[in-house]
Amino acid sequence: MEQYLQWKELLRAGEDLPFWQEFYVKFYQAFIEADRWKQYLEGVGSTLMVTALALVIGVILGVLVAIVRTAHDQQRPGRHNPILGVFNGICQVYVTIIRGTPMLVQLLIMGFVIFSTSREYTAIGILTLGINSGAYVAEIIRGGLMSLDPGQMEAGRSLGLNYIDTMRFIVIPQAFKAILPSLGNEFITLLKDTALIYTIGGEELVYAAKAISTRTYEQMFPLVGSALIYLALVLIFTWLQGLLERRLRQSDRR
Amino acid sequence: MIDVKNLSKSFGDNLVLNDISEHIYPGDKVVIIGPSGSGKSTFLRCLNLMEYPSSGTITFDGVETTDPKVNIDEVRRKMGMVFQHFNLFPNMTIKKNITLAPVRTKLMTQAEADEKAMQLLRRVGLEEKADAYPSQLSGGQKQRIAIVRALAMNPKVILFDEPTSALDPEMVGEVLAVMKELAEEGMTMVVVTHEMGFAREVGNRVLFMDEGKIVEQGTPAEVFGNPKHPRLQDFLSKVL
């Protein structure tokens, strides 16, 4: 501690310190001084919370959109439901716009145009990420439903089960297993994309890192530090995803 | 029982069924043969509206099933179907595969359906597989289960879409035996198959289809013993 303060003074006076001394000072300053590690920890907490909430919004939206679009595509010819047609149109526009524009632009529009008077930056960020993720989740789910052998749907329907029952008992349980890897990837993408909400003032890990660097006038340690934290989080979730998939695969070989 | 009038079906520009009219009577065992691409499977799949006809009508049990207002699920409950690739539900046990539809359509309670399933499984000699999953079964066993699954709905007619084509040769016999037994009990059956022996032995009528039309039909003795149409003669010379 004493040593740190002494070296810090020297560094501030423009003295040339040996590399390891300079490293020590900057590291200490970025992570330990004034209990700054707590700020990163809080940042990780809010990053995880933002991810989780955005994922919930994304999955709900995605399931709804996927159901509407799949049901619309699988209608009996000559029996098109006009209401479903309208919803399908809305869903298509939604998916097209979200997937066709950069997430950063969506965030900026939400933060500075649509909700320009609101100060709930993090909430706006969560909402935007959720809406964005919903479009991707919808396509993942739709792909999963479509990829299942059409014979499964036919077998269910040939027994006189209606569309909804066939979906519920036969198609969806099987599709769920098939889309789990893609959903896991979407979750990991989302986890990293939460960093973007910093641009509209949302509070998460990057926000914490930037707050520290503006106090210490030192960019590298907080930024590289947060990058390493993201990497660690992604590695943990990738590992968990692998565990889950292995368990599901085991149940295939019953 | 099933009355087909002027049935046509095209996929895009491809006319698969060309103005077919045919009647299937109660107790009929109709066997449909023909070269691949002749429309036999499409014809069969039109009967329970797995494919929607482009034109023409189908009447089953007095109900015009091709009418868009008809609840097709109710029609299909009385019309079983057995597929080439079995299409068992891999996420359920055998018993659940069999009882799902009767229970969900409120035809039976779970207890009744379970009892019925066990009784049918005993009949095909697979009662010890009740709690197994489809992936643990051989092809022949899967197809026998698929037949049982269709039977559990107490259908009035069962449609068989090449039920033995995906099976290893040594398993064809066990499936045909079950089908023969069904035929002897008087079940109405429409069978698309390449098994000429089965057609001859079990069918009371054989339809020969070519290029979307029923080119020739008659009793097995007539069709196999004295084929008239050159396409049928050609076909039989290749498969027999």
Min Cα separation B211/chain A (Å): 24
Q: How much is the mean pLDDT over chain A?
A: 86
Closest by CA position to A252, among listed A199, A176, A201: A176
Q: For the domain that residue A174 is a member of, what is the CATH number? A: 1.10.3720.10
Q: Which string of DSSP letters, residue by residue, matches A30-71?
A: IIIGGGTHHHHHHHHHHHHHHHHHHHHHHHHHHHHHHHHHHH
Cβ A155–B87 below 8 Å, yes or no?
A: yes
Name the residue range of residue A197's domain.
45-204
**Counted domains in chain A:** 1
Chain B, window 91-130: residues with a beta carbon less than 8 angstroms from a chain A beta carbon:
91-92, 100-101, 104-105
> Which of A77, A156, A160 minimises the CB distance to B77?
A160
Categorize the per-residue pLDDT at A77 as very low, low, confident or very high, splitting at 50, 70 and 90.
low
Chain A, window 56-95: residues with a beta carbon less than 8 angstroms from a chain B beta carbon:
76-79
**Given this model, what pLDDT does residue A217 score?**
79
Tell me whether residue A15 is in a domain.
no
d(CA B219, CA B145): 30
Tell me whether residue A251 is in a domain.
no
pLDDT in tens, A93-139: 999 999 999 999 999 999 899 988 888 889 999 999 999 999 999 99
Strand B63-64 to B157-161 pairing? unpaired
Q: What are phi and psi of B18, to 5 degrees?
A: -120, 90
Residue of B nearest to A248 (CA): B91
**Given this model, what pLDDT does residue A22 score?**
74
pTM exceeds 0.90 = no
Contact A27, A106 (CB under 8 A): no
pLDDT in tens, B106-131: 999 999 999 999 999 999 999 999 99
Contacting residues of B for A149, CB less than 8 Å apart: 85, 87
Tell me whether residue A38 is in a domain.
no
d(CA A112, CA A101): 16
Tell me whether residue A50 is in a domain.
yes
* Amino acid letter for position B124: V
Indicate the helix (H) or strand (E) that contains B98. helix B94-104
Q: Between A40 and B43, where is the model more confident? A: B43
Write the DSSP symbol of residue A197: G
Q: Is the pLDDT of residue B166 over 70?
A: yes
**Given this model, what pLDDT does residue B155 score?**
95
d(CA A195, CA A59): 20
Write the DSSP symbol of residue A76: P
Tell me whether residue A9 is in a domain.
no
Residue of A nearest to B103 (CA): A161
Task: Tell me the average pLDDT across A25-47.
Answer: 79
Percent of chain A with pLDDT over 70: 96
Tokens read off for A111 = 């933060």
Task: Tell me the average pLDDT across A63-81.
Answer: 83
**Given this model, what pLDDT does residue A252 score?**
61
Contacting residues of A for B91, CB less than 8 Å apart: 170, 173-174
Provide the strand spans (E) within A65-168.
none
pLDDT in tens, A157-206: 999 999 999 999 999 889 888 888 899 999 999 999 998 988 888 788 88
Contacting residues of B for A81, CB less than 8 Å apart: none
pLDDT in tens, B130-156: 999 999 999 999 999 999 999 999 999
Task: Tell me the average pLDDT across A238-243.
Answer: 90
pLDDT in tens, A204-225: 888 888 888 887 777 888 888 8
pLDDT in tens, B22-76: 999 999 999 999 998 899 999 999 999 999 999 999 999 989 998 888 899 999 9
Indicate the helix (H) or strand (E) that contains B81. strand B79-82
**Given this model, what pLDDT does residue A3 score?**
76
Tell me whether residue A220 is in a domain.
no
SS3 of residue A183 by DSSP: helix
Tell me whether residue A105 is in a domain.
yes
Contacting residues of B for A161, CB less than 8 Å apart: 73, 100-101, 104-105
Min Cα separation A132/chain B (Å): 32
Tokens read off for B191 = 């069978």
**Given this model, what pLDDT does residue A251 score?**
57
